[in-house]
Amino acid sequence: MLTDLETDLTREFLVAEGRDLYALSQSYAARGDARRAALAAWASDVRAVQSLLLEVGLDDPANRRNQLLTVSEAVVTALADLDAGESRTVRAVVESARECLLTVLDDSARATIRERLVGLDHLDLAAAPAPGSADLAVNERLGGRGGEQLVGDLLTAAADCRAVARTLAMVGDEDEASRQSRSADLAAFEAYLILASAASGDATLAVTGLRWDLVLAKAAGSAGGGSPGSTVVRAAILAGALPAERPALDALLTMGQPRRSEE
């Protein structure tokens, strides 16, 4: 069961990530990527609902996970009733999904969420995605491999980069050791995201893509226009994880970290 502090931290994270997802949606739309713009806007909506449920409190705090899953399943059921064959704009698709989400809430929660949902005017900037764009995005990430194989390759790459980083740190090449550590963290993080998508039934790896781009954007912003170093990337990865995820993710990232030459 989440403690009150953990609940507050989680709610604050969800609110902040909802804002970040909206900014990401606008960025996608400006680049003409309607599919990702719609996904990010929808993810922002979901975060808004999740944060509200934690804010107002659920009927049984000891059973929050089950109640959140119940809401999630109700939304999935409502979405399944949408007419997939109907020709609609990208904005209309998100608006329809939004209405499905709102139907599972009571009147007071529905009114509050409507006030918090972000505008969708930016979705009018991008043309509708080409048929098969979701499959194309998955294939680009998998690179012809299965999900399990890609995760294995990424974890192997992470271990190799850490080994190289340790050697370089021992001989005093701190810059290259930092670069290898950054590569290791990114490879391990991508593997983590793919596993998380698989566990949640995200067959198109949409969430993997959104979380990956959020972290890269956050790292780039923190670097002030330069190339983000390993410390900045590590901080961005952890900042982009739910509080409950951070211990496991931190353990994955710190595994086999290099020692400096003077240690």
Predicted model pTM: 0.85
pLDDT digits (tens, 9 = 90+) for 112-131: 888 889 899 999 877 888 77
**Would residue 259 count as lying in a domain?**
no
pLDDT digits (tens, 9 = 90+) for 127-144: 888 778 888 888 999 988
- Residues 21, 79, single domain; the answer is yes
DSSP 124: G
- Residues 119, 87, single domain; the answer is yes
Helix axes 246-254, 230-239, angle to 10 degrees: 160
Round to whole Å and give the CA distance between 178 and 53: 41
- Residues 88, 149, single domain; the answer is no
pLDDT: which is higher, 185 or 90:
185
Domain that holds residue 70: 4-125
**Would residue 185 count as lying in a domain?**
yes
- Residues 138, 249, single domain; the answer is yes
